[in-house]
Amino acid sequence: MAPIITTIEDLRRVAGRRVPRMFYDYCDSGSWTESTYRANEADFAAIKLRQRVAVDMSDRSLATTMAGQSVAMPVALAPTGLTGMQHADGEILAARAAEEAGVPFTLSTMSICSIEDVAEHVTKPFWFQLYFMRDRTFNDRLIDRAKAAGCSALVLTLDLQILGQRHKDIRNGLSAPPKLTLGTTLNLLTKPRWCWSMLRTQRRTFRNIVGHVEGVRDTSSISAWAADQFDPRLGWDDVRRIRDRWQGPLILKGILDAEDAEVAAATGAEALIVSNHGGRQLDGAPSSIAALPEIADAVGSRIEVLMDGGIRSGQDVLKAVALGAKGVFIGRAFLYGLGAYGQAGVAKALAIIRQELDTTMALCGHRDIRAVDRSILRTPPVREIGPDVRLRVPAWRSAAS
């Protein structure tokens, strides 16, 4: 009997049974001790809402804009690497589901399906995420390919100059396609749905790279090329150069500090994303939702502030909007749906978040997502972290306090 799916957690459990371990762990893990990965969710849970009654809850609207684009709700699908390893043709399926839901889909540089693959299978523009590589010619070609595909925004990721300590990926020997060791083979034999779907597609490696870089033709040559490509010298002058080359909306991803946000706001970018890379880079960094209010206060009048990290429900979306985000990106939430049921699973994840967002907004006394602010939040709790230390977590200022 098929399980009844009512929450993102339900989708996560199904994905855990259907996706090979190395790819499920890639999605469902963080770096080092995973403290920041866990904090992304825990700090959302600590935020309490003000219930309001005897107010008009009719004619509600979740419609707004993100980076100048009209969206059905303040949610976009985040750029996630190896999406096509959660389910065959995963990027195409997720893009289709996002298009049907009226929200943006963002394709990662490190996707399995290429820019051209996705463009061929959708009817509306999608967004493209760029990693800054040492190979400047490759960077420029990616931007030009995104332009040619009609991508309507460029998301430049700033927080992956070097790779975080991702212990599960190392232990699992993560690769695309998976290397057939005894352990991976035994695990794949327990995932017949996944194996069957993968056998029916030709998209099983990094198609934005293979055939687009001289000498990179197979999995082994990709590994050698990629290992030395993320550029540790990335600086703000490079960001400005990309700003000059890309004429559409530019979104800077990976901002977690108000000082960096000030510099980002001066680059001419249209938006920034408050993000700790899903807890997969600097372990011990604050959760995204804890960092959001200070950044929104500092630069929200000069640059659009978005966020990602820890979004597992429509309530989380509402809390982020209340604390200053114009919209949010979901990564794991849609990947769980994709791994569980393909395109239908992504559509289900988006429908769950939409329903939860709509219901929660109404019960907080609002009918229009654009009017939501910190007045819907209660005073944050005080967490004891030591005999002489009391810390409000997460740190924000509530209009209700």
- Indicate the pLDDT class of residue 249, thresholds 50, 70 and 90: very high
- Indicate the pLDDT class of residue 395, thresholds 50, 70 and 90: low
Pairing of strands 271-274, 153-157: unpaired
Phi (first) and psi of residue 22, to 5 degrees: -65, -35
Helix residue ranges per DSSP H, 28-181:
35-46, 83-86, 90-101, 115-121, 136-148, 167-172
Q: Identify the residue with better confidence: 356 or 163.
A: 356
Q: Is 275 marked as binding a ligand? A: yes
Between CA 266 and CA 269 the distance in angstroms is 8
Q: Identify the residue with better confidence: 395 or 401.
A: 395
Contact 133, 161 (CB under 8 A): no
Q: Is 277 marked as binding a ligand? A: yes
Least confident of 22-31, 120-129, 157-166, 209-218: 209-218
Output the CA angle 342-128-156, nearest 5 degrees.
125
DSSP character at residue 191: -
Q: Is 238 marked as binding a ligand? A: no
398 falls within a domain: no
For 277, the domain range is: 8-392
What is residue 391's predicted lDDT score, i.e. its pLDDT?
52
- What Cα–Cα distance (Å) separates residue 8 from each residue in 2, 311, 327, 333, 336? 16, 10, 19, 6, 7
- Indicate the pLDDT class of residue 225, thresholds 50, 70 and 90: confident
360 falls within a domain: yes
Instruction: Name the strand (E) or helix (H) holding 261.
Output: helix 258-265
Locate 380 and state its tokens.
Answer: 């944050």
Pairing of strands 327-330, 75-77: parallel
Is residue 399 predicted with pLDDT exceeding 50? no
Q: State the chain's mean pLDDT as an integer.
A: 93
| Cα dihedral sign, 159-30-151-209 | positive
400 falls within a domain: no
- Indicate the pLDDT class of residue 401, thresholds 50, 70 and 90: very low
Task: Give residue-wise pLDDT tens across range 133-153.
Answer: 999 999 999 999 999 999 999
31 Ramachandran zone, left/alpha/beta (phi>0; psi -120 to 50): beta
Q: Is 108 marked as binding a ligand? A: yes
Q: Identify the residue with better confidence: 184 or 102.
A: 102
Task: Give residue-wise pLDDT tens across range 55-97.
Answer: 999 999 999 999 999 999 999 999 999 999 999 999 999 999 9
Q: Which of 167, 212, 277, 366 is labelled catalytic?
A: 277
358 falls within a domain: yes
Q: Is 310 marked as binding a ligand? A: yes
Is residue 319 predicted with pLDDT exceeding 80? yes
Nearest to 303 by CA among 329, 267, 275, 330: 267
1 falls within a domain: no
Between CA 45 and CA 131 the distance in angstroms is 31
Q: Is 129 marked as binding a ligand? A: yes
* Domains held by the chain: number: 1
Residue 245 CB coordination number (10 Å)? 14
215 Ramachandran zone, left/alpha/beta (phi>0; psi -120 to 50): left
Task: Give residue-wise pLDDT tens across range 254-283.
Answer: 999 999 999 999 999 999 999 999 999 999
Domain with 245 in it: what CATH number?
A: 3.20.20.70
What is residue 383's predicted lDDT score, i.e. its pLDDT?
54
% of residues, the chain, pLDDT over 70: 92
What is residue 216's predicted lDDT score, i.e. its pLDDT?
76
340 falls within a domain: yes
DSSP character at residue 178: P
Residue 316 carries which side chain, given as an amino acid letter? D
Is residue 389 predicted with pLDDT exceeding 60? no
Between CA 27 and CA 83 the distance in angstroms is 9
277 is catalytic: yes
Between CA 137 and CA 142 the distance in angstroms is 9
Number of alpha carbons in the 13 Å side-chain half-sphere of residue 8? 24
What is residue 377's predicted lDDT score, i.e. its pLDDT?
96
Instruction: Classify each residue of 284-314 as buried b or exposed e, where b means 16 or more C-beta atoms within 10 Å of its C-beta.
Output: ebbbbbbbbbbbbbbbbeebbbbbbbbbbbb
What is residue 379's predicted lDDT score, i.e. its pLDDT?
65
**Per DSSP, what are the bridge partners of residue 11?**
none
2 falls within a domain: no
Between CA 76 and CA 127 the distance in angstroms is 10
129 falls within a domain: yes
Contact 103, 215 (CB under 8 A): no
Query: What three-state secondary structure class fits 25?
Result: helix
Q: Is 311 marked as binding a ligand? A: yes
What is residue 380's predicted lDDT score, i.e. its pLDDT?
61
- Indicate the pLDDT class of residue 400, thresholds 50, 70 and 90: very low
Helix residue ranges per DSSP H, 282-342:
288-299, 314-322, 332-341
Q: What pTM, to 2 d.p., does this model score?
A: 0.93
Phi (first) and psi of residue 328, to 5 degrees: -130, 160
Q: How far apart are the first and last CA of the chain?
A: 48
Q: What is the mean pLDDT of residues 201-215?
A: 90
Task: Give residue-wise pLDDT tens across range 347-386.
Answer: 999 999 999 999 999 999 999 999 999 999 996 654 554 5
Between CA 107 and CA 104 the distance in angstroms is 10
Least confident of 205-219, 283-297, 311-325, 351-365: 205-219
Is residue 398 predicted with pLDDT exceeding 50? no
Is residue 396 predicted with pLDDT exceeding 80? no
| Cα dihedral sign, 389-393-395-396 | negative
Instruction: Name the strand (E) or helix (H) holding 386.
Output: strand 382-386
